[in-house]
Each structure stands twice: as structure tokens, then as C-alpha cells.
Amino acid sequence: MTENRKKEKLVIIGGGPAGLSAAIYAARAGLDPVVINGPEPGGQITTTSELENYPGFPGGIGGFDLMQKVTEQALSFDARLEYEIVEKVDFKKREFLIDTDMTNYQAEAVIIATGAEPRMLGLDRENELRGSGISYCATCDGAFFRNKEIAIVGGGDTALWEATFLTKFASKVYLLHRRDEFRGTKILGDRVKANEKIEILWNTEIKELTGENKLSGINVENNKTNEAYHIDLSGVFIAIGHKPRSGLFKDFIDIDQGGYIITDAKQQTSLAGVYAAGDVQDDVYRQVITAAASGAKAAMQIEKYFASVE
Ligand code: NDP
């Protein structure tokens, strides 16, 4: 089957900040990279937040706008972007095999930048009601809840930022957190506490989602007092973190207990020629700036890798 394979020097799997930054560096270095954009072109940041802390944009920049600029920049250096989804890889031999829904590739080196996806609460009917009241993306779905009462679950920066964002639309936002202090930063927490449209429900967990074909409410319980009650609402946003998209690679490279790809300080995985960058290998920082930096590092290391094997 090898004869049907498209031979590439460098395949970058994932088109978020890490993958596209790697593409910019690799393309400028003449490595002629192809980026397999995957299911979420531009990455999570295109749907989740407004960036207030990305250097160079003092007034902030939308995640989607930023990634459009990064994409343009990668294309301007002749990086190739393919809107395909990787279904299978085989890294047993040095010519790394990558099969997408459209093309079979064979690469001399690979950068994995597949990112992460939202964690689910694991409630009965959570999947069934996704898109009918349950959402994992405030930026995408917030506007559907104009003048409605909604809830958001989580206590990290995402939940705090999204709770405030959602008050632009909703008449009331319940913020449900399972503990009695936020994990997220103080500045975002203080903003939430000061917002009159937000009611914080500490130590509170959802036990059941109610409603026929669409969500109409939640049964909740206070995990300290065991008080259980019902809240009528139209939407629940779940913002409880993400899990790395590393499943395709687990048989070939080392992955930690949380599913994150293990890399050294130079972004190299346990397999020579395979590098990883961005949220798929970062359980600590998970910022656009750190993802982009790790993508740049991976591409620079690959230049050195080629020099060492040629
Ligand atoms: P985090 O992992 O930081 O927070 C997840 C939150 O969800 C925690 O409060 C956690 O509770 C809660 N949680 C996890 N599992 C469950 C569950 N099963 N049921 C109920 N609650 C649960 O994820 P985030 O997405 O908030 O943030 C990820 C990273 O992105 C962080 O590093 C953050 O700083 C960064 N970020 C930065 C932004 C910025 O503006 N600078 C904006 C958005 C994100 P507990 O606290 O009890 O563990």
C-alpha cells in the first residue's frame, strides 16, 4: 500500500496555536510542512474566549480573529493546510504513517498538536441534551440564551470568564462550583462576585438534568449540607476543563496517567522524529502563548533532527 502514500517531510497534526506556529517556523525553515487541520480548525481558542493577555493586543483580541491571522501568516510562508481528520497512525517504523479520512501520508517527522477537548460531567442524558440546552462553549452558544436563566459549572478561569461573558445575554447566571473557593485567578473571581446577575452556588453539584426534548432544569445537591433542590433554567454551560486528544498515539509514544503526551524540554516525545506541542502535552499552562511557543520549539528542533539524520 506504500505506493499510494503521499510522501511528506513533515506532517503537523492539528491546526490550533501550537500546530500553526510550528507550521510558520517549519515553513520559514524550508521544511515544506503540511498541517492536518483536524475537527476544530484554529483550535479551542476559536470558540472559547476573548484573549486579554496575549502580548501585542492591548485592547484584547477574539480567539477566532487571532487564529485567522495566524492561519494567514502560515499560508503566507507556503505551509499547506489540509481540512482532513486523522483516523489512524502507525509509528512503528521510521517512515511514520498517518491516515486521514481522505489521504494516506508517510512522513519523515511528525509534530502532534491535537489539543484537548471539553470534559463532560458524565450525567445521564448529558450527551442527548447537548445542543438542546447543554453547551461546552459560551462564545458559540451564549447568544441563544438572551433573557433566559442559565447555569455554568466549574471554578476555573474558563468558568469564571464565561460566567461574566454569559451575563451579556442571560437574565441570570447560576455559577455552580463543587468546592467553596475558586481554582481560577482572583481578578476573574472578583469580577464574578461583583456581578449582580451571577449567583454563586458553592459546594453544589448537578445530580440530574430535567426536561423532555430540551433542558428545562437541574436537580442539584449541596455536598456539604446534602440539601437537594431543583432550579428551572434553559441552559447549562459546562466548563470543567479539557482532556488531551492523545488516544491515536498511545501505542507508539509515552503518555502520562492524565493522557498527556510526555515530551522533554525540547518537545520531543519518547520516539525520535515525533514531537508534540500545545495542550496535548501540557497539563499546566494551557495558554495560547505557551502552545504557540511549544509549536515553535518543536519546529526548530525538527530542523536539528533532520540535520542529525541526514
Ligand atoms: P481548570 O482545570 O483550571 O478548572 C476546571 C474546573 O472545573 C475546576 O474548578 C474544577 O473543580 C472543576 N471540575 C473539574 N471536574 C469537575 C466535575 N466532574 N464536576 C464539577 N466540577 C469539576 O480548567 P479551565 O478550563 O478553567 O482552565 C484551563 C486552563 O486555561 C487554566 O490553566 C486556565 O488558567 C487557562 N485559562 C486562562 C484564561 C485567561 O483568561 N487567562 C481563560 C480560560 C482559561 P476543582 O477546582 O474542585 O478542581
For 100-133, what is each residue's pLDDT tens digit?
999 999 999 999 999 998 899 999 999 999 989 9
Residue 136 has pLDDT above 80, yes or no: yes
Whether residue 102 lies inside any domain: the answer is yes
Can you list the alpha helix ranges (DSSP code H) found in 153-244? 157-166, 186-194
Look at residue 50 in the predicted model and tell me its pLDDT. 72
Whether residue 123 lies inside any domain: the answer is no
Q: Which of 185, 220, 238 is the last residue of a domain?
A: 238
- Taking CA atoms only, the protein residue closest to ligand 1 atom 23 is 241
| Model confidence pLDDT, tens digit, residues 61-108 | 988 999 999 999 999 999 999 999 999 999 999 899 999 999 999 999
Residue 310 has pLDDT above 80, yes or no: no
Regarding beta strands 86-90 and 96-100, do their DSSP bridges make them parallel or antiparallel, or are they unpaired? antiparallel
* Residues 304 and 207 both lie in one domain: no
Q: How far is it, in rounded angstroms, from Cα 152 to Cα 240?
A: 9
Whether residue 291 lies inside any domain: the answer is yes
- How sure is the predictor about 49, in pLDDT bands with cuts at 50, 70 and 90? low
- Compute, in angstroms, the gap from residue 98 CA to the centroid of ligand 1: 32
Residue 279 has pLDDT above 90, yes or no: yes
Look at residue 2 in the predicted model and tell me its pLDDT. 47
Choosing from 157, 175, 187, 202 the residue with most ligand 1 atoms within 8 A of its CB, the one to mutate for a pocket test is 157
Whether residue 67 lies inside any domain: the answer is yes
What CATH code is carried by the domain that includes residue 141?
3.50.50.60
Q: Which of 210, 238, 266 is the last residue of a domain?
A: 238
Arithmetic mean of pLDDT, 260-278: 98
CB atoms within 10 A of CB 55: 7
- Taking CA atoms only, the protein residue closest to ligand 1 atom 9 is 155
Which atom of ligand 1 is nearest the CA belonging to 51? 40
Q: What is the pTM of this model?
A: 0.79
Residue 227 has pLDDT above 50, yes or no: yes
Whether residue 188 lies inside any domain: the answer is yes
Per the prediction, the chain carries an average pLDDT of 95
* Residues 104 and 201 both lie in one domain: no
Whether residue 152 lies inside any domain: the answer is yes
* Residues 185 and 228 both lie in one domain: yes
Query: Who lines ligand 1 at CB under 6 A?
Result: 49, 53, 121, 153-159, 161, 178-179, 183-184, 239-241, 286
Q: How many domains does the chain have?
A: 2
Q: Catalytic residue positions?
A: 137, 140-141
Please classify residue 289 by burial: count the beta carbons closer than 10 Å to its beta carbon, then call 0-12 exposed, 13-18 middle and 19+ buried: middle
* Residues 280 and 221 both lie in one domain: no
Choosing from 52, 119, 162, 183 the residue with most ligand 1 atoms within 8 A of its CB, the one to mutate for a pocket test is 183
Residue 48 has pLDDT above 70, yes or no: no
- Compute, in angstroms, the gap from residue 222 CA to the centroid of ligand 1: 20
Look at residue 265 in the predicted model and tell me its pLDDT. 96
* Residues 48 and 79 both lie in one domain: yes
Question: Helix %, strand %, coil % for the chain, to 5?
Answer: 30, 30, 45
- How sure is the predictor about 52, in pLDDT bands with cuts at 50, 70 and 90? confident
Whether residue 226 lies inside any domain: the answer is yes
Q: Going by C-beta distance under 8 Å and a sequence separation of 6 or more, which residues neighbour residue 107?
A: 7, 8, 9, 10, 11, 95, 96, 98
Which grid cell is 42? 484554529
Domain coverage including residue 107: 6-118+242-309
